[in-house]
Structure 1
Amino acid sequence: MTFTFTTTLGHNGFSGAILIPEDIAAQIAQDKIKRVVATITSSKNELTLYAAVGKKHGVAQMMFSKANQKKLEVTEGDQLSISMCEDTSKYQAPMTEELEAVLLSDYEAYEIFESLLPGKQRNIIFMVYRANSSQKRVDLALNAMENLKIGNHDPMKFEKLL
């Protein structure tokens, strides 16, 4: 099911927040949807966002980072058009070809990766996804798998090994 709506960019006290209308929030809660893929359109740009849906102070929202605000050239109070649906992918994150190739080529690292909690898997996936070039994504994926194999299972504390 795809949800389409227009909303304003809010603020949750720490970062930007995309406020979700109550009727859509009720449907999301009823369907027990936790993560979504959203296409966000401003008057100037469009962006695809992989995000969690949560409630803060009784208001359903998705976090929207300053970096994403900069990409869309929006600030708090600006109107956004949102089209979102449940993220039904295996990891609920955008798996890159480079990371997938590294996982397929290294079975030991793949087993360790699969044993991680979903949030840690997503951290690694997004770490690789954010790289600008294909070679950088390969390097990050290889480094992440080497860290996993030496017993470092916390993506926030990965050391640069390559």
Structure 2
Amino acid sequence: MIFTFETTLTHNGWVGALIIPEDISEQLESAKIKRVVADLIVSGKEMTLYAGVIKRKGIKYLMLSKANKKALAIEEGNTVNVTMKEDTSKYQAPMTEELEAVLLSDYEAYEIFESLLPGKQRNIIFMIYGIKDSQKRVDVALNAMENLKMGNLNPIRFEKLLPY
């Protein structure tokens, strides 16, 4: 299913919120869709957003971080065109070639990565996805796998073990 709608950027108290219309919200709930890939278009600028569908006080929305708002050059009250569909990828996050290569080359790290809860897997994937330089992605991926092998399973508390 592909959903297309127009919404206004609001906030949920901390970050930007793109409210999902009620009819689409009901369809998402009946189909049990919790993670989506959304293409956002604002004033000619485009972005692909990998997000969870958040529900608070009966309202469903997509979170839009400060960095994403800056990249789109939008602020509260701006209109956003959204086209979204269910994220059916394995990790429900954009796996980079660099992380995939590191996981393929280190079976022990791969096994530990696969044993993590999906949210922790996504934290690691997004940590690496946000890096622009390919070599730095490799370095951070290697560092993350070394942390996992040391027993540090919390991506937020990863130590910098390798020079990068």
Q: Same fold (TM over 0.5)?
A: yes
User: RMSD over aligned Cα, in angstroms?
Assistant: 0.5
Which shows bigger deviation, 53-62 or 76-85?
Answer: 53-62
> Where in structure 2 are the equivalents of 1:120-131 lying within 5 Å?
120-131=120-131
Q: If the length of structure 2 is used for normalisation, what is the TM-score?
A: 0.98
> Where in structure 2 are the equivalents of 1:1-162 lying within 5 Å?
1-162=1-162
Q: Is the 8 A contact 1:7 1:18 kept in 2?
A: yes
**1 CA distance for matches of 2:44 and 2:56?**
29
In structure 2, give the amino acid aligned to 1:12: N
Residue 28 of structure 2 aligns to a residue whose secondary structure is helix
Following superposition, the deviation at residue 139 of structure 1 comes to 0.5
Consecutive unaligned residues of structure 1, counting only runs of 5 or more, are none
Residue 113 of structure 2 aligns to a residue whose secondary structure is helix
Deviations 1:131-155 (A, max 9, x none): 0110110011000000000110000
The count of corresponding residues between Structure 1 and Structure 2 is: 162
In structure 1, give the amino acid aligned to 2:99: L
**1 CA distance for matches of 2:68 and 2:75?**
10
Following superposition, the deviation at residue 75 of structure 1 comes to 0.3
Consecutive unaligned residues of structure 2, counting only runs of 5 or more, are none
Deviations 1:17-71 (A, max 9, x none): 0110000000000000000000000013100000000211211101101110000
Q: Is the 8 A contact 1:10 1:77 kept in 2?
A: yes
In structure 1, give the amino acid aligned to 2:112: I
Q: Is the 8 A contact 1:40 1:83 kept in 2?
A: yes
Percentage identity across paired residues of the two chains? 68
Q: Is the 8 A contact 1:3 1:84 kept in 2?
A: yes
**1 CA distance for matches of 2:60 and 2:71?**
23
Structure 1 residue runs of 4+, over 3 Å off? Answer: none
In structure 2, give the amino acid aligned to 1:69: K
**2 CA distance for matches of 1:57 and 1:44?**
32
**2 CA distance for matches of 1:130 and 1:114?**
21
Q: Is the 8 A contact 1:36 1:84 kept in 2?
A: yes
